[in-house]
């Protein structure tokens, strides 16, 4: 744990609790240095005297308030402390309120409070009281040179001081285009609302902060290791030309998106599947005959034909007429063909008998 950054006491009524303040959060961001792209040397920022241009060390730096152009009142840390000793050394609780009454947007920066020397019992008393009544303490505290509004919250076995923003530090939302508060006025249907609630319920779980981590930082660190292994530490990756993306429609089918999120089929696809289920089963394929040859051997591998609608009575009568006429025409054609073949055979018999006589004369 780091060194305490503030020492003082919590005060409410006549109760006085000595405490020490410690940072409760640490920045785990990427610590990137600024480099000169010409030779990749690190860039430094100097604290310099604007009158002489010479660098100034930390030991020679003091604070001052500019009361007129170029004129300053010098203030030391002791001057700041003496201005209001009580404010700089006391966390003054001015009220206790229900925790849910303070919107999250007011919370700013957390700090741990630990009991100071001789303050264990009264520290535990305040902690157990806050826990039992379910309230938080609203207090004033000066940290460094700024007074903060703060909330004292019981978190586990520790009292946490969370600085709050003042109301004038929060920007109004008047200029923002916010949908109407009423669901109907915002064109949110009851079906969409119920599906969204079902999605929230399905994704609800207990708060487990250990399972969340900075995946972006991990990916960047993996990229850094990859560039080191590939000996590309001095290679600057240039951006690729952006591809033209098709224009997106502003119309959003919330029902389809919610159904997809819930693991269901979209409404259109589901309707199509339901329609397909209403079709009659396909007819069985006929057995291949001898006259079909090898052509129909693969009939079983072909997709079954779709079921046809039953023909009307008129269509059936017309089809029967066409079939009878076709049969009659076929019979007449077959009769004519048979007569021609008989005549041809009869004409060919005398010629066949005369042929041997001619061959004997020639011999």
Confidence of residue 340 (pLDDT cuts 50, 70, 90): low
pLDDT at 220: 85
Report whether pLDDT(154) > 70: yes
CA dihedral 290, 291, 293, 295 (to 10 degrees): -120
The token pair at 81 is 């402390």
**pLDDT on residue 342:** 59
Tokens 């007569």 belong to 339
**Angstrom distance (rounded) from CA 37 to CA 234:** 9
Is pLDDT of 48 > 70? Answer: yes
What domains lie within the chain, and their CATH numbers? 6-24+88-169 (2.40.290.10)
Q: Which residues pair with 48 in a beta bridge?
A: 55
Distance CA(162)–CA(157), nearest Å, equals: 16
Say yes or no to pLDDT of 89 above 80. Answer: yes
Output the DSSP codes for 282-303.
PPPPPPPPGGGTTGGGGGGGSP
H or E stretch including 107?
strand 107-115
d(CA 136, CA 129): 10
Segment among 221-225, 229-233, 249-253, 352-356 with least mean pLDDT: 352-356
Per-residue pLDDT, averaged over 95-123, amounts to: 93
Helix (H, G, I), strand (E, B) or coil at 274: helix
Ramachandran sector of residue 87 (left: φ over 0; alpha: ψ -120 to 50; beta: rest): alpha
Beta strands in 203-266 (DSSP E): none
What is the rounded (10 degree) CA torsion for 269, 275, 276, 280? 180
Q: Under 8 Å CB-to-CB from 230, ≥6 apart: which residues?
A: none
pLDDT in tens, 305-320: 454 444 444 454 555 5
With pLDDT > 90 as the criterion, what percentage of the chain qualifies? 25
- What is the radius of gyration, based on Cα positions, of the chain? 47
The rounded distance, in Å, linking the Cα atoms of 307 and 286 is 14
Q: Looking at the DSSP assignment, which residues form a beta bridge with residue 142?
A: 147
* pLDDT value of position 264: 58
8 Å CB contact between 148 and 140: yes
* CA–CA separation, 14 and 159 (whole Å): 19
What distance in Å separates the CA atoms of residue 237 and residue 260, rounded to the nearest whole number? Answer: 37
**The pLDDT value given to residue 129:** 92
Side-chain-side CA neighbours of residue 295 (13 Å): 5
d(CA 155, CA 143): 21
Provide the pairing of β-strand 90-98 with 6-12.
parallel
Tell me the whole-structure pTM to 2 decimals.
0.58
How many angstroms separate the CA atoms of 274 and 16, rounded? 73
- Judge contact between 347 and 339, C-beta under 8 A: no
């Amino acid at each position: 744990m780091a060194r305490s950054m503030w020492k003082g006491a919590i005060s409410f009524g006549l109760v006085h609790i000595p405490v020490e303040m410690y940072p409760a959060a640490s920045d785990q961001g990427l610590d990137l240095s600024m480099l000169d792209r010409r030779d990749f040397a690190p860039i430094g920022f100097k604290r310099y005297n604007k009158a002489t241009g010479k660098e100034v060390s930390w030991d020679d730096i003091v604070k001052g308030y500019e009361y007129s152009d170029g004129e300053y009142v010098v203030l030391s840390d002791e001057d700041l402390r003496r201005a209001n000793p009580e404010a700089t050394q006391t966390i003054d609780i001015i009220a206790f309120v229900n925790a849910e009454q303070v919107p999250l947007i007011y919370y700013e920066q957390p700090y741990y409070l630990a009991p100071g020397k001789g303050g264990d019992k009264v520290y535990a008393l305040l902690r157990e009281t806050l826990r039992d009544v379910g309230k938080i303490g609203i207090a004033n505290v000066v940290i460094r040179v700024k007074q903060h509004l703060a909330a004292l919250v019981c978190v586990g076995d520790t009292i946490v001081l969370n600085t709050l923003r003042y109301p004038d530090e929060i920007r109004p939302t008047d200029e923002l285009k916010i949908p109407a508060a009423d669901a109907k006025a915002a064109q949110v249907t009851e079906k969409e609302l119920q599906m969204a609630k079902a999605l929230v319920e399905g994704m609800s779980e207990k708060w487990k902060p250990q399972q969340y981590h900075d995946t972006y930082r991990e990916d960047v660190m993996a990229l850094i290791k990859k560039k080191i292994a590939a000996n590309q530490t001095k290679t600057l990756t240039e951006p690729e030309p952006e591809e033209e993306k098709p224009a997106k429609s502003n119309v959003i089918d919330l029902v389809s998106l919610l159904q997809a999120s819930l693991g269901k089929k979209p409404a259109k696809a589901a309707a199509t599947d339901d329609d397909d289920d209403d079709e009659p089963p396909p007819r069985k394929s006929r057995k291949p005959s001898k006259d079909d040859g090898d052509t129909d051997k693969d009939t079983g591998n072909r997709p079954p034909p779709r079921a046809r609608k039953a023909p009307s009575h008129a269509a059936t009568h017309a089809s029967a007429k066409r079939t009878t006429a076709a049969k009659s025409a076929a019979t007449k054609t077959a009769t004519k063909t048979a007569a021609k073949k008989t005549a041809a055979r009869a004409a060919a018999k005398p010629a066949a008998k005369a042929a041997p006589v001619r061959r004997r004369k020639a011999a």
